[in-house]
Each structure stands twice: as C-alpha cells, then as structure tokens.
Amino acid sequence: MSADRTDACIARLNAELAASNEENVEVIKRAGRLMNEKERLEEKVAKIEEQYTCLLEQTIGLMGNKVKHLKGAEKMLIPKPQKRLVVCIYCYMRDLPCDRGTPCRNCTKVVHTCKRAMCIDFMTGTCHKRICNRAHEEDTEHYRNIVHAGHVQKVKNKNKQTKKRAMRR
C-alpha cells in the first residue's frame, strides 16, 4: 500500500513539475518578446531624439540674429511639457491664484479643507476642453484631494462690482 501511495505521489509531483515547466517556458518566451520590443522602442526613441536635436539646431539656425542677442536662447526654444494646474474649489470660487500644493497656500491660510474637483470626463480620459482646470485621471499621481463636486459656482465679489460701476461713470 505504501508503495502505491508513493508511486501516486511521485506521479502527481511529476505532473505538477511538467505543468510548471510549461509555464516557465511560456514566461521565458514572453520575456524574450518583451526584451525585443524594448530594444525596438529604444531604437525609436534614439531616432526621435536625434531628429529633435536636428530640428532644434535648424530652428536656431533659421532664427539667426534673433537668437544671438538673447542669453540662453537655446533653453528658451526647448519646449517643456506643461503641467496642468488643477485649481482647488476654494480658490476657484473666490477667483484666487492657486498653487500646486496639497493643500494649497490659500486653503492653508484660512484653514479650509483643500479639495480639487474632478472633470466630467475623469474616467474616460477624453476631455474635449482645451484648457480644463479640473482634475483628470492622470492628475491622481500629484493630487490626493480629488473629489466629485458637480457644478461649482463662483462667489460674487461686491468690491469688483462697485469698481466696475465707478469705471463706467
């Protein structure tokens, strides 16, 4: 009986080993494909960087005298990816300048809970507004205070209205 059990156990373990080996072979094949893809993408990136450098040099060459009198003009010509500033609800309502802080400076001054409103297209990631000051899914990396706020109405400032009336007179 114990010999039958041992044989059955060995057979089961051999079957598990064979299945595990098949999985390992698939993982190794997939890793090879991913490495090939990585090398291909690295070549593409290098090519694009080379084209970018060439275009930048051509742009500087075409600008000629305009660039020579500017100090550090090369730095000015290199476009920086703009980080979208998501305005917090408090600053938006009061038309105040908002910074990237979490919480922002204005909310810290008045001891207010700093929250940023999410865009209607938050989950889809297809916001059609050119300039949207609401949070999108990619903003969750930077902001931890994103909430669903719905419509946020601005507070009317009486001082601004009286200034406008005075200017009309």
* Biggest CA-to-CA distance, the chain: 110
Look up the pTM and report it.
0.42
| Count helices and strands in the chain by DSSP H and E runs | 6, 2
> What are the DSSP E strand ranges found in 11-168?
116-117, 146-147
CA neighbours closer than 13 Å in the CB half-sphere of residue 85: 11
How many other C-beta atoms are found inside a 10 Å radius of the C-beta of residue 149? 14
Torsion of CA 120, 124, 127, 133, to 10 degrees: 50
pLDDT in tens, 35-87: 999 999 999 999 999 998 888 888 777 776 555 555 455 555 555 555 667 88
